[in-house]
């Protein structure tokens, strides 16, 4: 199975900060990497697919990059609604696997 | 608008069975690949399994922890996805999400999610 490791597991940031979350795959997955945002008590929501493609309706302050084994999700200027947990997920092969999550909290 | 509505969750004893349903609307269900994803309380996301469209053979694939115990099926005439869960154990306690897989070429992602249904396995 492909293991997905996210870092950090949590972070504290202020409104307007630039935030970067890292996801590392245990083997090369090309660009088969997706990012989701989850608010407490809610279902996850797709942000980025294929490593860098922004899902329709998602604000442009979110961006994704990387290929192979190392990927990043960047929020260019943190907004109040961005305080949530973020998950990466590989779709290179089954079993489809997720990273452990990164919780973004208010400093 | 895509809508996925799960039902069938509840409290079940270890060793018991439960069947979840997911009513789909707003898209052509019979063309869609569908997956179940679960989330144990306070934990991360775990893919449970997938069923492809009838056109793609209606084949299924499962995560190791549920293989042989869970079965995913679909009724395209009712636009409904199912998850039959047998031999449940405490570790299966989770919110179960129905998801619609979207794709572009070989790239696949979980584009739409239901609200989830809670399954609690306890004596």
pLDDT in tens, A68-88: 999 999 999 999 999 999 999
Q: Of all residues in chain B, what percent carry a pLDDT higher than 90?
A: 100
- Contact list in A for residue B96 (CB cut-off 8 A) is none
pLDDT band with cut points at 50, 70 and 90 for residue A22: very high
Inter-chain contact B115–A44, Cβ cutoff 8 Å? Answer: no
Question: What pLDDT digit, counting tens, does each position of B1-18 carry?
Answer: 999 999 999 999 999 999
Average pLDDT for A4-14: 98
Pairs across A and B, CB distance < 8 A: 61
pLDDT given for residue B51 in this prediction: 98
- Nearest by CB to residue A44, choosing from B45, B63, B64, is B45
Q: What is the pLDDT of residue B79?
A: 98
Instruction: Flag if B111 and A46 touch (Cβ within 8 Å).
Output: yes
Contact A96 B64 (CB under 8 A): no
Confidence of residue B109 (pLDDT cuts 50, 70, 90): very high
Closest Cα in chain A to B95: A43
pLDDT of residue B6: 98
- φ, ψ for residue B115 (rounded to 5)? -80, -15
Taking the C-alpha atoms of residue B110 and residue A36, their distance in angstroms, rounded to an integer, is 9
Residues of B within 8 A of A43 (CB-CB) are 97, 113-116
> What is the Rg, in whole angstroms, of the alpha carbon atoms belonging to chain A?
13
Q: What is the band of A15 on the pLDDT scale with cuts at 50, 70, 90?
A: very high
Burial of B16 (0-12, 13-18, 19+ CB in 10 A): middle
Helix (H, G, I), strand (E, B) or coil at B15: coil
So what's the pLDDT on residue A89? 98
A46 vs B37, B107, B110: nearest CB: B110
Q: What's the pLDDT band for B89 if we cut at 50, 70, 90?
A: very high
Q: What's the pLDDT at B118? A: 98
Per-residue confidence (pLDDT) for residue A105, from 0 to 100: 96
Q: How confident is the model at residue B103 (pLDDT cuts 50, 70, 90)?
A: very high
A87–B106: do the CB atoms touch at under 8 Å? no
- Find the angle CA(B111)-CA(B30)-CA(B49) to the nearest 5 degrees: 55
The predicted-structure confidence for A32-42, as pLDDT tens digits, reads as follows: 999 999 999 99
H or E stretch covering B12:
strand B10-12
Q: pLDDT at position B53, please? A: 98
Q: Which structure tokens are listed for A21?
A: 């979350």
């Amino acid at each position: 199975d492909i293991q997905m490791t996210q870092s950090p597991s949590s972070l504290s940031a202020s409104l307007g900060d630039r935030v970067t979350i890292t996801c590392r795959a245990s083997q090369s997955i090309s660009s088969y990497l997706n990012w989701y945002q989850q608010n407490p008590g809610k279902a996850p929501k797709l942000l980025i697919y294929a490593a860098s493609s922004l899902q329709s309706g998602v604000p442009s302050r979110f961006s994704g990059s990387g290929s192979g084994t190392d990927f990043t999700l960047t929020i260019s200027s943190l907004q109040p609604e961005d305080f949530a947990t973020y998950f990466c997920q590989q779709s290179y092969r089954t079993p489809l696997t997720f990273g452990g999550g990164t919780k973004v909290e208010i400093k | 608008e895509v809508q996925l509505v799960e039902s069938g969750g509840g409290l079940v004893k270890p060793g018991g069975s439960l069947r979840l349903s997911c009513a789909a609307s707003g898209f052509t269900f019979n063309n869609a690949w569908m997956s179940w994803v679960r989330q144990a309380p306070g934990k991360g996301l775990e893919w449970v399994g997938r069923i492809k469209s009838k056109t793609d053979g209606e084949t299924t694939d499962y995560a190791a922890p549920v293989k042989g115990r869970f079965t995913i099926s679909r009724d395209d005439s009712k636009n409904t996805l199912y998850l039959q869960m047998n031999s449940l154990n405490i570790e299966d306690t989770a919110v179960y999400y129905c998801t619609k897989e979207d794709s572009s070429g070989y790239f696949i992602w979980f584009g739409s999610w239901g609200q989830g249904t809670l399954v609690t396995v306890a004596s």
